[in-house]
Structure 1
Amino acid sequence: MDRRDLLANEQIGRLLWRLSLPAIIGMLVQASYNIVDAIFIGRGVGPLGLAGTAIVFPLQLLSTSLAITIGVGGSSLISRSLGAGKHSYANKALGNMVFLSFIFSFSLFSIGFFTRQYILRLFGATPAIFPYAEEYLEVILFGLPFVGFGMAANHAARSEGNARVAMISMLISAILNIILDPIFIFKLKLGIRGAAIATVLSQIAMAIWMVHYFFFSKKSLLSLSLSSITPQWETIKEILSVGVSEFVRMASGSIIIVFLNNSLIYYGSDISVAVYGILHRALSFFFMPIIGVAQGLQPILGFNYGAGDYKRARDVTHLAIGAASIIAFIASVICWFMPEKVVGLLQQILFF
C-alpha cells in the first residue's frame, strides 16, 4: 500500500503503532548511547571530563532546538501539503528546511567558535573544568551543520510516513558513536577530544544517510534538488511559525541548565556538575518513548488535517495522548520505586 494511502486509510491504532515503534526504537538507542558515552568518558577521562560535557550541553541543546524548530515546522508543512495534494509545495518545504538548517548551523558555529571561552565561563566552567569543556566544544562545533541537516531531514522522512528511514539514521549515528568512542578515547588516547570526534563522525554518517535517501534512493515521496533549496520567505515564515513554540520550549531548557550548572558549582563542586549531567542522561531514557509516540503522531495528524479529515486527525491525537500518558505513568513508577538503580548507574560511571 502506498504511504499516502496508509496515512489516509489505515486503522489509526495500527498506523500509530507502525509509525511510533521505529521512532521509539531510534530514540531509545540514542538514549542508550548517551549513557554508554558517559561511561566511556567517565572511565577514560574522569569526572572532570563528564563535567566538561555537562557545561557544553546547553549549547548542544540550543543547536538541537534550532534543528527541531525546523524539523517540526517543516514536517508539519510537508504532511499537510501531501494530504492536500500539493506535492510541489511539499518539495519546496523540504528544500527550505535544508536551507534554514545550514543558515542556523553556520551562524551558531561562528558565534560558538569565536566566543567559546566567554560562553564556557558564562555556562559555569571552573578553572578545573574549563580545559575539558573547551577541548570538547572546539570539536563538537564542527558537527553542527551535519546534525542540523540530519535532524531536519530525519523529520522530513518521518513526515512522509517513512519512519523506518528516520529510525535507521538514528541507529547509524548512535551505534557508530558507541563503536568509535573506545577507539578514540582509549586506543588513540585522545581523551575528551576523542569523544567529541566520535560524536561528530557519527553525525556526519547520519547526514550522509539522509542525503542518500533524498537525492539518490528514489524511495522518497519528496524530491530534494538544488532549485528547491532556493529560499522562499512565505515558506520559511510558515515553517518557523509552527516550529517556534518548540524552540522556546527547548531553549528555555538550555537556559535552565546553565543556571543549574552555575548553582551546582556555587553550592556544590565540580563533581556535582558531573553527577547532574549523568542524571540528566539517565532520566532522558524514560522520556524517549513519549517523544517517539509524538513523532509517530505527527505525519498522521498533519496528513489528515491537510486532507480535511478532521475526525481522523482528532481521534489519532486522543489515542496518542492516551498512549503517552500510560508510558509517562509507568516511567514515573519506575523512577519513584527504584531510584537506587539510577544511583547505582552513577556509581559505576564515576567510580565512587
Structure 2
Amino acid sequence: MELSSRELAKKDIKSLLIKQSVPASIGILFMTVNILIDTIFVGRWIGSLAIAALSVVMPITFFISSLGMAIGTGGSSVLSRALGAKNKDKALATFAHQIMMTFGVSSVFVAAGLFFGDEILFIFGSNGDITAPAKEFFFPILLAVPFQAMSMMGNNVIRAEDKSRHSMISMIISASSNIILDILFIKILGLGVMGAALATAASFFLSFAYIFWFFVYKSELRLKWSHFTWKKEIAGEITSLSFVTFARQGVISVLAVILNHTLFAQGGEHAITVYGIISRMLMFALFPVLGITQGFLPIAGYNYGAKNHERVRESVFLSIKYAGGLAILIFIVILVFAKPITAVFTTDPDVIRDTPGALRWVFAASPIIAVQLIGAAYFQAAGMAKKALMLTLSKQGFFLIPLVLILPQFFGIFGVWVAFPIADVLSTIVTGVFLKTAMAEHVNEE
C-alpha cells in the first residue's frame, strides 16, 4: 500500500494512467464482449425479433442485479475503511450485511417479477410480436438474477481486499460460459430463445460459484453465523453510500422504458430491434474511454486528498486528451463501417438498411464525451457527491429523457436518434463549465 501511495504521489501521470486504465478496460471489455456476442448469436441464429426481446428484458434483469452492484460499491467503501483501521469485526459485519441486503432485495424483486411478470414486461416495452419471445427469455433469467446480484456485490468486495485478479476471473467465467452455452443450446440443440435464456442464467450461476469458492477458500473475510446479526447503523451506512449507483441505474431503467415505448410507437418491433443493436454497440465501442475514466479515479482522488492540485489538473487534462482521442477513433470507425457492423448482428435486410444511419447519429457527439465522463469522475474522486451525482445523471436524466419524449412528436423516429448527440453536447457543456470552475479554484488555492 505504501509503494502504491508513493507511486500515486510521485510517478509520471501518463504512466500511472496507463497502469490504472488497462486492467479496468480489460474488465469492461470482457463484460461488453459477452453482451455483444450474445446479441450476435441471438440475432443470427434466432432472428431479429429476438434482439428486440433482449432489449426489453435485459434492462429489467440488470436493474435487479445492479442492486447488488450498488450494495457492493457502497458496502465496500465501509469495508475498506474498516480493514484499513484494523477493525476486522466491523469489516466482517459489513460483508455479512452486504450478503443479507443483496439476497433480500433481489429476492423481493424476483418475487415481484414472478407474480407481475406480464405487467412488468409491458411497462418495459413488451408489445406486439415482442411479447412471446420476451416472456420466454424473461422467466429463466429472472430466477438466476439473485446469483448475478450476489456476483456483482462479491466482485466489489474482492476488489476491496485488493485481489482484483479473482474478480476478473469471475467475469471471464461468466462471459466464456455464456458464449459456449449459447452455441450448445441455440445452435446445436436448437432451443431458440429458451436456449439463450438458459445459457445466460447458467453463466450467472457459474460466476457466483467461483465467487463463493473464493470467499470460502481464499478470502480473509471468514464469516460466522454470529456476524449475520442485523445492525441498523451498518445497514444505514451501506445504503447511504449505495445511493449514487442505485440512482444512476434507476435513471437508466426509466430511460429504457421510455425509449422502448417511444420506439414501438414510432416504428414497431423493427425500431426496437434497431436500437437493440445500437445499445450493444454503445456498451462495447466505448470500453477504452470508460477504462480511462476508471483509471483516472484513484489518481485524481489520491492527489486531491494530498492537495497536490497541479497533479490533479495534469491527470484531468491527460485523461481527457487520451479518452478524447480514442473517442474520435471510435467515431470514425462507426462512421465508416456502420453497415458491416450491423450485418454482423442480423441478416434481416430491413434492419441492415435502417440501423447504420441511426448508429451514426447516436455516436455523432462521441468525440466530446470524454469531457463529460472525466468531469463527472473528477467530482466523484474529490468526494463532491452531489455534484458527481448531478453530472453523472445529466445526460440521461436531465437531457436525454425529455428530448426522447419531445423530439419524436415533431421529427418521428429520427427525433429519437438525434436526441442522443444533443444530450451529449448539452451534458458536456454543463460538465465543462463545472470542471473549468473547479480547475480555476485550484489555481486560486495555490
**TM-score clears 0.5:** yes
1:261-272 equivalent positions in 2, closer than 5 A: 261-272=260-271
- For the structure 1 residues 225 and 188, does the alpha-carbon distance in structure 2 shift closer, same or farther, using more than 3 Å as the test? farther
Q: Which residue of 1 aligns with 2:144?
A: 143
After superposition, what is the alpha-carbon deviation per residue over 1:318-343, rounded to whole angstroms, capped at 9, x for unaligned?
67655653454134313432324244
Alignment match, 2:162? 161
Report what 2:331 is aligned to: 336
Instruction: Evaluate the alpha carbon distance shift between residue 82 and residue 53 of structure 1 in structure 2; reply closer, same or farther with a 3 A threshold.
Output: same
> Is 1:79 paired with 2:74?
no
CA spacing shift, 1:341–1:64, aligned 2, 3 Å = farther
The CA deviation at 1:313 is: 9.8
Shift of 1:144: 1.1
For residues 141 and 282 of structure 1, the distance between their equivalents in structure 2, rounded to whole angstroms, comes to 24
Separation (CA, whole Å) in 2 of partners of 1:107 and 1:61: 15
- Count residues with an aligned counterpart: 343
Corresponding residue number in structure 2 for 1:32: 33
Mapping 1:137-286, distance limit 5 Å: 137-217=138-218, 220-286=219-285
Q: Which residue of 2 aligns with 1:346?
A: 342
Whichever residue aligns with residue 238 of structure 2, its letter is I
Cα displacement string for residues 226-284 of structure 1 (whole angstroms, at most 9, x for unaligned residues)? 33333322111111101101111111011111111111110112121011111111111
Quote the RMSD (CA, aligned, Å). 2.7
Residue of structure 1 in register with 2:305 after alignment: 310
Counterpart residue number, 2:102:
101
Superposition deviation, residue 166 in structure 1 = 0.9
| Aligned-partner Cα distance in 2 for 1:229–1:18 | 38
CA contact (8 A) 1:46 1:350 kept: yes
Moved more, 315-324 or 61-70: 315-324
Q: Which amino acid aligns with 1:261?
A: N
- The residue number in structure 2 matching 1:117 is 118
* Pair 1:333–1:192, CA change in 2 (3 A): same
Name the larger-Rg structure.
2
Change in Cα spacing, 1:164 to 1:126, as seen in structure 2 (3 Å) is same
Q: Distance in 1 between matches of 2:321 and 2:206?
A: 34
Calculate the TM-score normalised by the size of structure 1. Answer: 0.88
Which amino acid in the other structure matches residue 171 of structure 1?
I
Partner of 1:134: 135
Gaps of 5+ in 2: 350-446
Identity %: 32
* Distance in 1 of aligned mates of 2:262 and 2:45: 27
Q: Deviations over 1:14-48 (max 9, x none)?
A: 67755543332121011111111111001111011
Does the 8 Å CA contact 2:300/2:315 hold for their aligned counterparts? no
Partner SS state of residue 231, structure 1: coil
Partner Cα separation in structure 2 for residue 120 and residue 235 of structure 1: 35
1:287–1:328 contact (8 Å) kept in structure 2: no
Cα distance in 1, alignment partners of residues 171 and 259 from structure 2: 29
User: Retained in 2: the 8 A contact 1:16–1:296?
Assistant: yes
- Equivalences for 1:60-71 in 2 at 5 Å? 60-71=61-72
Residue identity in the other structure for 1:249: R
User: What residue number does 2:401 align with?
Assistant: none
Q: Label 1:270 to 1:57 Cα distance change in 2 as closer, same or farther (>3 A).
A: same
CA distance in 1, matches of 2:164, 2:137: 32
Aligned residue number for residue 370 of structure 2: none
